[in-house]
C-alpha cells in the first residue's frame, strides 16, 4: 500500500512540476579544466554580481521612491527636466561601470587570442560530418567519426551513456602543454567546440582560424559542432583525450609507426576477401550514413548502390566518383579523406556487397596510380 502511495505521489509530482522532475537545475556556468575556461567563469561571475548590485540599487531606489513619495501622502512629483547635475551623473556613472567591466573582459579576450609559443600544433578540418586532425610537426593525421551505433540512433537499441558524443578516434593532446589549433573546413562552415576548454571557433572553407588550449588535468572531454552544417550536423561530436606527457609521447610514436605501415600497405598483394573485410568497415564509417548500411540509399539525394548500373558496370566511373566526388551533389570527394587502401577496399566492397557480386577487385596500387595520373 505504501509503495503504491509513493508511486502515486511521484506521478502527481511529475505532472504538477514537470521541469523539477526531468530537468537538471543547473543555473550557472561551470568552471572548466583550462586557464581560459576558468577566466571566462570568473569574468562571468564578476559581471553577474555587478549586474545584481545595479539591480538592487536601481530597484531599491525606485521602490523606495514609489512608497515614500506616494500621492496618498500629499507628495507631488519633482521636475528634473534639463537638470545638468542629474544628466551628468546618469552619463558618468554608467560609463565608469562599463570601464570597470571592460578591463577584465579585455584581458581575457587578449589571452584567448594569444596563440604564440605553442608546444603542439594541430590542424583541425571540418567535413560533412566528421573531423580531421593533422599533427603538423609529427607527419601523421586521422579522421574522427561518430561511433554511436546506428541501431541506437534508429531507436532499435537502448541509448548509451555517451549517446552521440562518442567517436572512433578521439583527439589526443598532452596535459600541461600549450596546444594551438588551426581550424578550417573542406565543404561548409563548421564550428569546433569543447565547453570544458572554453574553446569555440568556426571552421570556414578557404580560411584558417586559430585558437589554443592548455589542459590542466587528464581526462576525456566532449563537445560538438555548433554550426548548422547539414543533414548530420547533430552527429558530429568532438572528443578530446588529455593524457600525461609520457603517455602522449608513446602514443605519437605508435601513430607515426602505424602511418608508415599504412603507406606500405599500398604495395601489398591483397585478396578479394581481405579487401571486402576492410571495405565493410570503411563503408560503415564513411558511407553508410548517406547510402545506408544495406546500400539502399536515400534517393534522390543519395542514390542506391545496391543494383546500381555504375557499380555493376562502370569501374572507371566508380573510382572517379569516390575519389573526386560529384560537383553539384552531396557526394563528397573521398580522395583526401581515405587512404589508398581504404578507397580500394570500399570500392571493392560496394561492387560485391548486397548481391552486386561483380567479382571485381580494385587494388590500392590502382588507386595510387589513378591519383598520380590526374
HEC profile for the chain?
A: CHHHHHHHHHHHHHHHCHHHHHCCCCCCCCCCCEHHHHHHHHHHHHHHHHHHHHHHHHHHHHHHHHHHCCHHHCCCCCCCCCCHHHHHHHHHHHHHHHHHHHHHHHHHHHHHCCCCCCCEEEEEEEECCEEEEEECCCCEEEEECECCCHHHHCCCCCCCCCCCCCECCCEEEECCCCEEEEEEECCCCEEEEEHHHCEEEEECECCCEEEEECECCCEEEEEEECCCCCCCHHHCEEEEEEECHHHHHHHHHHHHHHHHHHHHHHHCCCCHHHHHHHHHHHHHHHCHHHHCCCCCCECCCECCCCCCHHHHHCHHHHHHHHHHCCCCCCCCCCCCCCCHHHHHHHHHHHHHCCCCCCCCCCCHHHHHHHHHHC
What's the pLDDT at 301? 79
Residues 131, 209: one domain? yes
What's the pLDDT at 6? 44
What are 330's three cell numbers? 552531396
Residues 146, 27: one domain? no
What's the pLDDT at 1? 41
What's the pLDDT at 332? 83
The CATH number covering residue 37 comes to 1.10.287.90
**Residue-number span of the structural domain to which 48 is assigned:** 2-112
Beta-bridge partners for 135: 122, 140
Last residue of a domain, one of 263, 282, 302: 263
What's the pLDDT at 33? 93
Residues 13, 146: one domain? no
What's the pLDDT at 80? 66
Within 10 angstroms of residue 279's Cβ, the number of other Cβ atoms is 26
Residues 248, 277: one domain? no
Residues 103, 63: one domain? yes
Residues 42, 130: one domain? no
What's the pLDDT at 139? 84
pLDDT in tens, 126-145: 998 999 999 998 989 999 99
What's the pLDDT at 134? 96
Q: List per-block mean pLDDT (blocks of 10 residues) for the chain, which spans 374 residues.
A: 44 45 65 91 92 94 88 78 82 92 92 93 94 92 91 90 95 96 95 95 96 95 95 94 96 91 81 91 87 87 86 87 85 86 91 90 87 80
What's the pLDDT at 19? 44
Residues 223, 296: one domain? no
Structurally, how many domains does the chain consist of?
3
Last residue of a domain, one of 263, 292, 319: 263
Residues 145, 164: one domain? yes
What's the pLDDT at 338? 87
The CATH number covering residue 188 comes to 2.60.40.420
Last residue of a domain, one of 112, 147, 175: 112
pLDDT in tens, 70-111: 888 888 877 767 778 888 888 999 999 999 999 999 999 999
The CATH number covering residue 307 comes to 1.10.760.10
What's the pLDDT at 178? 96
Residues 108, 226: one domain? no
Residues 291, 366: one domain? yes
Amino acid at each position: 500500500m505504501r509503495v503504491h502511495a509513493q508511486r502515486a505521489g511521484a506521478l502527481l509530482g511529475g505532472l504538477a512540476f514537470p521541469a523539477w522532475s526531468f530537468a537538471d537545475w543547473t543555473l550557472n556556468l561551470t568552471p572548466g579544466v583550462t586557464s581560459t575556461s576558468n577566466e571566462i567563469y570568473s569574468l562571468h561571475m564578476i559581471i553577474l554580481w555587478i549586474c545584481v548590485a545595479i539591480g538592487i540599487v536601481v530597484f531599491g531606489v525606485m521602490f523606495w521612491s514609489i512608497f515614500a513619495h506616494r500621492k496618498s501622502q500629499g507628495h507631488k512629483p519633482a521636475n528634473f527636466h534639463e537638470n545638468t547635475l542629474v544628466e551628468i551623473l546618469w552619463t558618468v556613472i554608467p560609463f565608469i561601470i562599463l570601464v570597470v567591466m571592460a578591463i577584465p573582459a579585455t584581458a581575457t579576450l587578449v589571452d584567448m587570442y594569444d596563440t604564440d609559443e605553442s608546444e603542439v600544433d594541430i590542424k583541425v578540418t571540418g567535413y560533412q560530418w566528421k573531423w580531421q586532425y593533422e599533427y603538423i610537426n609529427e607527419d601523421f593525421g586521422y579522421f574522427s567519426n561518430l561511433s554511436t551505433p546506428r541501431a541506437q540512433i534508429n531507436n532499435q537499441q537502448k541509448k548509451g551513456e555517451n549517446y552521440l558524443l562518442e567517436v572512433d578516434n578521439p583527439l589526443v593532446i598532452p596535459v600541461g602543454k600549450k596546444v594551438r589549433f588551426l581550424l578550417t573546413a573542406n565543404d561548409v562552415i563548421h564550428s569546433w567546440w569543447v565547453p570544458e576548454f572554453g574553446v569555440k571557433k568556426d571552421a570556414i572553407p578557404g580560411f584558417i582560424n586559430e585558437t589554443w588550449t592548455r589542459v590542466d588535468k587528464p581526462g576525456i572531454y566532449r563537445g560538438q559542432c555548433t554550426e548548422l552544417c547539414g543533414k548530420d550536423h547533430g552527429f558530429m561530436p568532438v572528443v578530446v583525450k588529455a593524457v600525461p606527457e609520457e603517455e602522449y609521447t608513446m602514443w605519437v610514436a605508435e601513430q607515426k609507426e602505424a602511418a608508415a605501415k599504412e603507406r606500405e600497405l599500398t604495395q601489398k598483394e591483397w585478396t578479394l576477401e581481405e579487401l571486402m573485410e576492410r571495405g565493410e568497415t570503411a563503408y560503415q564509417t564513411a558511407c553508410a550514413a548517406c547510402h545506408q548500411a544495406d546500400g539502399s540509399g536515400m534517393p534522390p539525394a543519395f542514390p542506391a548502390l545496391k543494383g546500381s548500373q555504375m557499380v555493376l558496370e562502370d569501374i572507371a566511373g566508380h573510382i572517379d566518383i569516390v575519389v573526386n566526388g560529384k560537383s553539384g551533389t552531396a557526394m563528397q570527394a573521398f580522395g583526401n579523406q581515405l587512404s589508398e587502401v581504404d578507397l580500394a577496399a570500399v570500392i571493392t566492397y560496394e561492387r560485391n556487397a548486397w548481391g552486386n557480386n561483380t567479382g571485381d577487385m580494385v587494388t590500392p596500387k590502382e588507386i595510387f596510380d589513378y591519383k598520380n595520373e590526374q
